[in-house]
């Protein structure tokens, strides 16, 4: 599993949610934090990070399940080719 970028900014319950989601969960958290740290900060401040994270995780799992035959692409490539955005919500 890849390391979680800037793990110290997440409260314990959020960390448990991210780690509990496995490799894909850590990847989502890292994409969000590396690409949109201000949005992540707002989601954490407003205490809605977990809900939005779960929504993104579910949508990505659904996309990856429907495209299981495309396993020669990385999950990120599959999601992008499906037209889905990797961005967290913009509040």
Does the structure show a pLDDT above 80 at 1?
Answer: no
pLDDT digits (tens, 9 = 90+) for 52-87: 999 999 999 999 888 888 888 888 888 888 888 889
| 25 CB-near residues (< 8 Å, 6+ apart) | 17, 18, 19, 53, 57
Give 1: exposed, middle or buried? Use CB within 10 Å, 0-12, 13-18, 19+: exposed
pTM of the predicted model, to two decimals?
0.89
Q: Which sequence spans correspond to the domains of the chain?
A: 10-81
CA distances from 29 to 44, 65, 85 (A): 12, 20, 14
User: Helix (H, G, I), strand (E, B), or coil: what is residue 73?
Assistant: coil
Closest alpha carbon to 10 in 85, 59, 58, 25: 25
pLDDT at 36: 96
Does the structure show a pLDDT above 90 at 8?
Answer: yes
Mean pLDDT across the chain: 92
């Amino acid at each position: 599993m890849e390391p979680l970028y800037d793990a110290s900014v997440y409260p314990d319950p959020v960390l448990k949610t991210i780690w509990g989601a496995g490799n894909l969960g850590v990847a989502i958290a890292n994409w969000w934090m590396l690409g949109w740290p201000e949005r992540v900060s707002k989601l954490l401040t407003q205490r809605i990070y977990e809900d939005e994270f779960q929504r993104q995780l579910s949508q990505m799992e659904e996309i990856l399940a429907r495209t299981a035959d495309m396993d020669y692409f990385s999950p990120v490539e599959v999601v992008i080719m499906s037209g889905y955005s990797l961005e967290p919500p913009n509040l």
